[in-house]
Amino acid sequence: MFLLFAKAHVKQFTRKDGTVVHEHDTKVVKKVKWHNSLTGSKQTAEKLAAKPSGKDALHPSWALPPDAVTHPKRDDDGKAVIVKYPSQQTGTDTWKDPHETAMFTPGGHAPASLNGVPLAPWTDHPKTIEGWDHVPGQMHDLEEPEMDLRGKEPAAGVFITEPDGRVWMVKPSNGFAGYSTTFPKGHADDGISLQATAIKEAFEESGLQVEITGLIGDVERGQTVTRYYTAKRVGGSPTDMGWETQAVMLVPPGSVHAAANRAYDRKLATMAGLQPVGDVRESVDDWKKVGKQLGSNPGGFFKDPSGQEWYVKVPRSTAIARNEILAGKLYEAAGVKVPELKEVTVGDRTAIASKIVPGLQKLSDFGSGNATVMDGFAVDAWLANWDVVGLQHDNLLEDENGDAVRVDVGGSLVFRAQGDPKGKHFGDTVGELDSLTSGQNPQAAAVFGGITHKELLNGVKKVASVSTAKIKSLVMDYGPGNPEQKAELARKLIARRADLLKLK
């Protein structure tokens, strides 16, 4: 039950027996029905009698998303757990298809058996530490090296593989500790072995009963050194997962690296013999944040494990992120300086990492006399970079060598700088030759209003240097949308290129 309380002020009064009750505060609760989309049932929650005002209105209980649900399992203190953004169970067609990822939710549905092994709750699991120490499934003849803890705490986990090759992974409730999807693991309890710990954690986090089949090795994490074992499922059910987990996934081996959002887990997958398939996006969840957010998108300055500094921002959608990254790649192909851009993840969201260029400063005298400013203008127009200069003249800067750098290309191609689609305003002809030099865009006009015909043609040569094949390749590799949308974007860029090449 989800317990929430509100203060109620009671004035002094006298009971019938003559006892005086002095003025005091108390707590008042009211019962309301709470729909649990995980189980499809109605559950009772205790809600505040009246919504508070002022500072009290900022209490987290009033910030719950509309789709939040209560987990069927209580936490270790007997309290209800609210899942803010519940996962959605996949269809029955994913259960037995080894090429599909299957998602199971607490109290949801699962097949009666999978790969010849029943799926049913493990009801006679150990209930005490002593019981867990003697839990079946341990591989007592397994030779294990001594753990090098390096001053950290010991932990254990399992890499559970189905006969069809898929791997069991868990989604921690509310993305606990920054994990979107991970492998069952946990701190070693006093009095039980690491193998017993791994089996216990597997059950508590995934609902599965497993048997240890081998040793993978030790992975040093932030607070622990975790010993991982290979394991197979011998019982249990993923729908019986504990409160720490909001979904259990059965993931094809080729998708494990992509599903794991932490570097620790991708390292484990490699140690277990799985190699990344395709372009696996790097996660910044293990990077160190060193500076605050700039602009309207969530983000900040980060250092990766090598010490390289990046600015990371999280746009409203993956399409917006890929649109900006593609623009950066097209600028590079035309020989115009931009920061290195790459697609990364923050939690389970797509983000953009922009490599920090040292020594940047604002243009002197709006860049007049700087050839690298003016010679890139035709490329700005080709890519429809409406925000090339920036509202505060902070998107077009100079580096240590005095070369112009387009540091934020988010206003290019099919989206505006704030993420709204340009629609029909991004067409087959380059109207930006006028809009970026006239008073229609005062920031851009302040820089490019006096551009010479020669400078314009120098930029057109840069556009011409990007071949049709290169445009198609870059759009297909980095662009937003499905294959048909990418093909249309490539066609439009080629048409705009042809429009610029008419200039003489």
In a domain, 318, yes or no: no
> Which two tokens mark 169?
């992974």
Contact by Cβ (8 Å): 241, 221: no
Q: Residue 162 CA to chain centroid, in angstroms?
A: 27
In a domain, 302, yes or no: no
183: Cα within 13 Å, side-chain hemisphere: 30
Last residue of a domain, one of 65, 83, 101: 83
pLDDT of residue 279: 65
Q: Same domain, yes or no, for 75 and 108? A: no
In a domain, 110, yes or no: yes
Q: Same domain, yes or no, for 39 and 125? A: no
Torsion of CA 464, 467, 472, 474, to 10 degrees: -80
Q: What is the pLDDT of residues 333-369, one digit of tens each?
A: 999 999 999 999 887 678 999 999 999 999 887 766 6
pLDDT of residue 5: 38
d(CA 306, CA 347): 20
> Would the pTM of this model clear 0.75, i.e. be above it?
no
369 vs 250, higher pLDDT: 250
In a domain, 414, yes or no: yes
Confidence of residue 42 (pLDDT cuts 50, 70, 90): very low
How many CB atoms sit inside 10 A of residue 18's CB?
6
Angle (CA) 256 260 261, round 5°: 155
Q: Same domain, yes or no, for 207 and 116? A: yes
In a domain, 54, yes or no: yes
pLDDT of residue 63: 57
In a domain, 209, yes or no: yes
Q: Same domain, yes or no, for 142 and 241? A: yes
Q: What is the DSSP letter of 169?
A: E
Residue 9: what are its φ and ψ, rounded to 5°?
-90, 125
In a domain, 296, yes or no: no
Q: What is the DSSP letter of 402?
A: S
Q: Same domain, yes or no, for 77 and 99? A: no
pLDDT of residue 442: 94
Taking residues 118-145, what's their average pLDDT?
96
Last residue of a domain, one of 224, 255, 278: 278
Last residue of a domain, one of 257, 278, 299: 278
Q: Same domain, yes or no, for 201 and 241? A: yes
Structural Rg of the chain based on CA atoms: 29
Q: What percent of the chain has pLDDT over 90?
A: 70
Q: Same domain, yes or no, for 48 and 156? A: no
Q: Are strands 341-346 and 282-283 parallel, antiparallel or unpaired?
A: parallel
Q: Same domain, yes or no, for 268 and 408? A: no
Contact by Cβ (8 Å): 376, 462: yes
Q: Same domain, yes or no, for 74 and 128? A: no
Q: Same domain, yes or no, for 176 and 226? A: yes
Q: Which of 4-18, 61-75, 285-299 has the lowest mean pLDDT?
A: 4-18
Q: Same domain, yes or no, for 197 and 256? A: yes
> Which two tokens mark 478?
């980095």
Q: What is the pLDDT of residues 270-322, one digit of tens each?
A: 999 998 876 677 888 889 999 999 888 899 999 998 999 999 999 988 899 99
d(CA 12, CA 21): 6
Residue 108: what are its φ and ψ, rounded to 5°?
-85, -155
The CATH number linked to 109 is: 3.90.79.10
Q: Same domain, yes or no, for 198 and 105? A: yes
Q: In total, how many domains does the chain have?
A: 3
* Secondary structure (DSSP) of 455-500: HHHHHHHHHHTS-HHHHHHHHHHH-SS-HHHHHHHHHHHHHHHHHH
In a domain, 157, yes or no: yes
Domain hosting 148: range is 92-278
